[in-house]
């Protein structure tokens, strides 16, 4: 679990100040020239950086809740401020369109903070996925090597089994040949004995 120090909450406070400060900028950013647009661009960069730091220090889930709370609070304060000091902001009358405009400005800077959080989180996840990918590749290599070794062992076992079967077959063939030789010799011996018996009987007669 990430340790959350109290100083980490200064970044959401800075984001709230940046969003609040945007209320004092002109809404006609393109009509006012490049200077005003550059100020909005710098504010957006600061909001992005704040989102990045919030994700680093407060994590994505908790930091996202904080940023959302900052956006809601800033939007409410902006609406109250514009309503109370409409003359200061150059609004002749309080229209719903004006309120929506200031809320959208707040949401835009808040969205830049969320964008910074998302980019930071994606980089962190990519770094964490790097070693996991290497481990997966190593596991695939180990599995492939194990399969090759198993295939080699299987082929060796098959060759040994074929050799043993061949040797057994050779032994059986030799035994059959010896049996046939013994039978032939036995038949020859019996035939010789019969010849001797016949010869002996003929001599006695």
Q: How far is CA 8 from CA 14, 72, 78, 166, in A?
A: 11, 20, 24, 79
Cβ atoms within 10 Å of 40's Cβ, excluding its own: 18
Report the predicted TM-score, pTM, of the whole model to 2 decimal places. Answer: 0.55
Query: What is the average pLDDT score of the chain?
Result: 79
Q: End-to-end CA distance of the chain, in Å?
A: 122
| pLDDT for res 29 | 47
**pLDDT tens digits, 16-50:** 888 887 777 755 544 444 556 677 788 888 899 99
In this predicted structure, what is the pLDDT of residue 30? Answer: 42
Instruction: Give the pLDDT confidence of 110-140 residue by residue, as tens digits.
Output: 888 889 989 988 888 888 776 666 676 677 8
pLDDT score of 31: 47
Question: Is residue 167 scored above 60 in pLDDT?
Answer: yes
Contact 36, 26 (CB under 8 A): yes
Residues 56-76 have pLDDT tens digits of 888 888 888 888 888 888 888
């Amino acid at each position: 679990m990430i340790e959350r120090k109290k100083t980490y909450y200064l970044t959401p406070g800075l984001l709230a100040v940046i969003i609040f400060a945007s209320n004092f900028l002109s809404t006609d950013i393109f009509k006012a020239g490049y200077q005003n647009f550059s100020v909005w661009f710098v504010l957006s960069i600061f909001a992005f950086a704040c989102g990045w730091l919030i994700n680093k220090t407060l994590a994505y889930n908790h930091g996202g809740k904080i940023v959302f709370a900052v956006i809601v609070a800033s939007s409410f304060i902006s609406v109250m401020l514009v309503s109370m000091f409409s003359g200061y902001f150059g609004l002749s009358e309080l229209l719903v369109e004006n309120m929506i405009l200031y809320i959208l400005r707040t949401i835009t800077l808040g969205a830049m903070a969320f964008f910074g959080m998302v980019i930071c989180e994606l980089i962190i996840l990519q770094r964490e996925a790097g070693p996991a990918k290497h481990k997966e590749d190593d596991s695939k290599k180990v599995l492939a090597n194990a399969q090759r070794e198993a295939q080699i062992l299987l082929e060796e076992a098959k060759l040994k089994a074929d050799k043993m079967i061949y040797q057994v077959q050779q032994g059986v063939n030799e035994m059959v040949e010896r049996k046939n030789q013994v039978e032939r010799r036995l038949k020859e011996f019996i035939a010789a004995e019969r010849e001797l018996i016949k010869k002996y009987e003929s001599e006695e007669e």
